[in-house]
Amino acid sequence: MAYDTELADRIRDVLVGKADFTEKKMFGGLAFLIGGNMAVSASGQGGMLLRADPSASDELCSNPGVERAIMQGRAMDGWLRVADTAIASDEELERWVDVGVAYAGSLPPK
């Protein structure tokens, strides 16, 4: 499955003017990076892949449509899948993008 280009455009619209970001195709989607660290991605598996503080994973996953990403058969703290239903409105999308941007921005630049 190819990533959702409409979702990528929506993410880009949120980031323009808010953050100094770059884009890179990775993990089968289009990732948006802050300081070289992935913040969010329009996922090739549908929805959005979000990078967040691993210690906040339980709290963030208590939201409908949010779950830990499975990578190499393991549920990963700090890597979350956000379903399309959880980012249907612009306000919801901005909320989740901000989570990813805040975490990526807290990491040392690459």
What is the tens place of the pLDDT at every residue in 5-20? 999 999 999 999 888 9
Per-residue pLDDT tens for 38-57? 999 999 999 999 999 999 99
Residues 65-80, mean pLDDT to the nearest whole number: 97
| pLDDT value, residue 18 | 85
Q: Please, which pLDDT band fits residue 27 given cuts at 50, 70 and 90?
A: confident
| Distance (Å) of CA 44 to CA 16, 21, 26 | 22, 20, 9
DSSP annotation string for 57-82: HHHHHTSTTEEEEEETTEEEEEEEEE
Longest dimension (CA), the chain: 37
Q: Please, which pLDDT band fits residue 22 given cuts at 50, 70 and 90?
A: very high
Phi, psi at residue 58, to the nearest 5°?
-60, -50
Strand partners, 26: 29
Strand partners, 80: 50, 68
| pLDDT value, residue 1 | 65
What's the whole-number average pLDDT of the chain? 96
| pLDDT value, residue 101 | 97
| pLDDT value, residue 90 | 97
Which strands, in side-by-side order, build the sheet including 29-34?
Answer: 21-26, 29-34, 37-42, 48-51, 74-82, 66-71
Cβ 40 vs Cβ 32: under 8 Å: yes
